[in-house]
Amino acid sequence: MSHFDEAGAAVQAALDAGARYADARVMVCRTESMTARNGSVEDLGSDESAGLGVRALVGSGWGFYAVPDLSEPSARAAGRRAAQIAAASAQVAGPPVELTPSAPVTASWASECKVDPLSVPLSDKGDLLVRATTAAKEAGADLAQASYAVWDTRKWFVSSEGHRIDQHIRECGGGVTANAIGDGEVQRRSLPGQYGTRGWELVEELDLIGNAPRLAQEARELLTAPLCPSGETTLILGGSQLALQIHESVGHAIELDRILGWEAAFAGTSWLDLSKLGQLRYGSELMNITIDPSFPGALGSFGFDDEGTPAAKRHAVRDGIWVGVLAGRDSAAVAGLDYAGSVRSDGWARLPMVRMTNVGLEPGPHTLDEIIAATDDGVFMETNRSWSIDDRRLNFQFGCEIGYEIKNGKRGRMLRNPTYTGIGPKFWQSMDMLSSETVAWGTPNCGKGQPGQVGHTGHPAAPARFTNVRVGVHG
């Protein structure tokens, strides 16, 4: 069933009410999630949401309105309302708004999916989570939790410039966590939550049941492991931790709306200065970061963004030099750039805005074993436990679930409460070894915007080594 007519009615109504540009998205979203704890299913939810969001540009002011009613009269009323809101923006008007050109496209796109996640029986899914948490509990976890989530999104996009695009995007993923609770602290080990624009085959590949006992044993061992020592050392990061490092200290920093100050009051700005684009050294020559929504199966993959721009790969950092940004059509025009393609909304009721797609690190020449073997003295950390970074995306501090001493090229003692801190460009410039073992990690909980939106982003990454990093920051 197509919803182009309703989207088109909203766009036309906005134009009739004075808009010089309008676009509308009808979205029908189904989500399913389940959590289990200590051998029992704790929560099972199956949600359906359908509605229309319309964006109108009147003069130099934007307006957006969203309704859950998909009838054409309701769509037309929403279009008029969006134009009214846009007109009110003129009370505190900014400079003229232009849109970087985007060729009108009529297209249809669907993500690849071997096993439809919503077709897998709930009893099988429940059994998987029950068995995984039971296995962790039996192996010594005080608290074992497992979960999965499925998102099935269909959307129809129409713009006043002639775009008519429908997409069907299916995403899923899951994880298992084992907690060991001591007298004074809690230790956690988890299979890094792995999510992608793929089918249920992704969850099956995770082997939640097989990994659960190891995680439980590690969590319990952590309670008596020595504290990660404090000081400067060589740091080796596992792939999933590096994925979050990319997300926080590169992905958000290269968002053009932040660079332009559009997020200054909440998410923050960026340390990057547009006048330095193409010249600024962001990291070492090993650092090649790409923006690639066409990456197969990653969580930030799509055919077209929510402004109708086709997915395309481009570099954000090439050989350590900053060369690209995540942009939308209006922000690109302000910056004088000729590309957009990174605008997304988390549902029909939210304004599309600049978001990460798949922002990842191109593979390096080494393996993790080679990196460890080449390290005389350092710490290996993996699996994120906490993350914090300043509003310019410079000063970060991460905590990981587990660390290991590296001595004379070998992995040594387990270390508890490993943390590291640093300043983005200094940290990236210290990257001197990078693995080729890339995995497309997914972050399903990226918060941004007001009202808040939760974005799904992908981060291809492999283990890497950094020198002279401050570790062991404790309270």
Partner 1 sequence: MSASSGSGVSTELQVAAKVVELVRELAGRAAEAEVNVRHRALALTRFANSAIHQNVAEATTGVRLRLHLDGRTAAGSTTVTSVDGLRSLVERTLAAARVTPPDPGWAGLTLPAALHISAGHPGSGEHSGLAFGFDEATARATPAERAERVRAFVDAAGGLETAGYCRTEYVSAAFANTAGQAVEGRTAEAAMDGIARNNGADGVARLAAARLADLDGAALGARAAAKARAAAAPIELPPGEYEVVLEPTAVADLLQNFSVFGFNGKSYTEKQSFAELGKEQFDPSVTIVDDPLGSRGEPAPGLPFDDEGTPARSLVLVREGVTKAVTHDRTSAAEAGAESTGHAAATSRSWGAFPAHLRMEAGPPVTGTPGEPAAVVESARPFLAHMRRGLLVTDLWYTRVLDPKTLVVTGLTRNGVWLVEDGEITRPVGNLRFTQSYPQALGPGRVLGIGAESVLLPDSWGGAHYASPALHLASWNFTGNASG
For residue 179, the minimal CB distance to partner 1 (Å) is 7
Which of 349, 287, 291 has the alpha carbon at shortest distance from 315?
291
What residues are paired with 420 via a beta bridge? 398, 471
Q: Which is nearer to partner 1, 366 or 393 (CB)?
A: 393
Q: Which is nearer to partner 1, 110 or 186 (CB)?
A: 186
Q: Which residue bears the tokens 């989207």?
A: 7
For residue 466, the minimal CB distance to partner 1 (Å) is 13
Q: Which is nearer to partner 1, 231 or 412 (CB)?
A: 231
For residue 103, the minimal CB distance to partner 1 (Å) is 26
Q: Which is nearer to partner 1, 184 or 336 (CB)?
A: 184
For residue 88, the minimal CB distance to partner 1 (Å) is 4
For residue 209, the minimal CB distance to partner 1 (Å) is 15
Q: Which is nearer to partner 1, 123 or 408 (CB)?
A: 123
Q: What share of the chain is helix, strand, coil (3-state, %, to 5)?
A: 25, 40, 35
Reading phi first (left if > 0) and then psi (alpha if -120 to 50, else beta), residue 336 is in: left
What residues are paired with 443 via a beta bridge? 457
Helix (H, G, I), strand (E, B) or coil at 445: strand
User: What gap in Å lies between CA 190 and CA 181, rounded to an integer?
Assistant: 14
Q: Which is nearer to partner 1, 295 or 398 (CB)?
A: 398
Which of 21, 9, 111 has the alpha carbon at shortest distance from 58?
21
Q: Which is nearer to partner 1, 57 or 169 (CB)?
A: 57
Helix (H, G, I), strand (E, B) or coil at 424: helix
For residue 7, the minimal CB distance to partner 1 (Å) is 16
Alpha helix ranges (H) inside 89-193: 122-138
Q: Which is nearer to partner 1, 336 or 475 (CB)?
A: 475
For residue 134, the minimal CB distance to partner 1 (Å) is 11
Contact 306, 340 (CB under 8 A): no
DSSP summary character for residue 271: S
For residue 294, the minimal CB distance to partner 1 (Å) is 28
User: What gap in Å lies between CA 186 and CA 368, rounded to an integer?
Assistant: 29
User: What gap in Å lies between CA 56 and CA 427, rounded to an integer?
Assistant: 42
For residue 403, the minimal CB distance to partner 1 (Å) is 13
Contact 54, 82 (CB under 8 A): yes
For residue 316, the minimal CB distance to partner 1 (Å) is 22
For residue 74, the minimal CB distance to partner 1 (Å) is 10
For residue 144, the minimal CB distance to partner 1 (Å) is 11
Q: Which is nearer to partner 1, 109 or 387 (CB)?
A: 387
Q: Which is nearer to partner 1, 113 or 129 (CB)?
A: 129
The pair of three-digit structure tokens given for residue 202, joined into one six-digit string: 């992704």
User: What gap in Å lies between CA 32 and CA 85, rounded to an integer?
Assistant: 34
Q: Which is nearer to partner 1, 78 or 316 (CB)?
A: 78
Helix (H, G, I), strand (E, B) or coil at 198: coil
DSSP state letters, 211-227:
HHHHHHHHHHHHTTSPB
What residues are paired with 55 via a beta bridge? 23, 64
DSSP state letters, 336-358:
T-S----EE-SSTTS--EE---B
H or E, element range at 420:
strand 419-423
Helix (H, G, I), strand (E, B) or coil at 405: strand
Q: Which is nearer to partner 1, 319 or 391 (CB)?
A: 391
User: Cα–Cα distances in Å, from 111 out to 41, 197, 446?
Assistant: 30, 7, 21
User: Cα–Cα distances in Å, from 400 out to 104, 185, 237, 387?
Assistant: 46, 15, 10, 9
DSSP state letters, 327-339:
--HHHHHHHT-S-
